[in-house]
């Protein structure tokens, strides 16, 4: 059982600062149970296009910084929209940088989904992330369909989800799965 605080690293598949996926991750930050912290990655949009020739000694510093955030985290949270029935290019690029590295194998991962649709991207992400040997914690899956709603409605739904315990329940399930693997 993990006795120390649990650190989670959240990866947002949308690079828009006001995206529903980012808002969901920010709401999860506010709903953390005691002993759990969430840092949201702000590096994905800065990563260069993946090129295997630039791995190893040639790995760009921003990629090393991105990988270091993943390495030090006890688990990952992914919130990603579906673009044209698939994974957004920038997010897939970030994952490509991690494929041959050792930060992700067997790392626990939780999905936080901000839409009532997007099952295609969830299936594609599941396939890619399992291929990368991440451990997807199905019991912690969170879906809060705020996409397409007004800013005011999104804020109200996120507040209700926080106050009702919906967000903290998913985080607690994720925390339990992480502790059980330690």
pLDDT tens for 11-46 read 999 998 889 999 999 999 999 999 999 999 999 999
Rg (CA), the chain: 16
pLDDT value at residue 3: 62
Higher pLDDT, residue 59 or 18: 59
For residue 55, report the phi and psi dihedrals to the nearest 5 degrees: -95, 175
Whether the full predicted model's pTM is greater than 0.85, yes or no, is yes
Q: What is the dihedral of CA 54, 80, 175, 42, to 10 degrees?
A: 50
CA distance 127 to 133: 10
**pLDDT exceeds 70 at position 69:** yes
Model confidence at 2, in pLDDT bands (50, 70, 90)?
Answer: very low
State how far the alpha carbon of 154 is from the alpha carbons of 5, 28, 74, in Å.
Answer: 30, 14, 29
């Amino acid at each position: 059982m993990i006795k120390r605080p649990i650190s989670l690293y959240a990866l947002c598949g949308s690079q828009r600062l006001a995206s529903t996926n980012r808002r969901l991750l920010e709401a999860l930050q506010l709903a953390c149970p005691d002993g759990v912290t969430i840092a949201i990655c702000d590096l994905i949009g800065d990563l260069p296009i993946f090129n295997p020739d630039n791995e190893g000694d040639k790995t760009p510093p921003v990629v090393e910084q991105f990988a270091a955030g993943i390495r030090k985290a006890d688990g990952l949270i992914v919130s990603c929209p579906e673009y044209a029935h698939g994974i957004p290019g920038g997010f897939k690029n970030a994952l490509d940088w991690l494929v041959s590295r050792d930060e992700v194998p067997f790392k626990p991962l939780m999905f936080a989904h901000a839409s009532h649709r997007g099952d295609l991207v969830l299936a594609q992400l599941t396939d890619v992330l399992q291929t990368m040997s991440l451990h997807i914690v199905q019991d912690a899956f969170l879906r809060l369909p705020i996409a397409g709603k007004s800013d005011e409605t999104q804020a109200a739904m996120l507040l209700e989800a926080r106050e009702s315990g919906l967000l903290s329940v998913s985080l607690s399930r994720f925390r339990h799965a992480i502790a059980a693997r330690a």
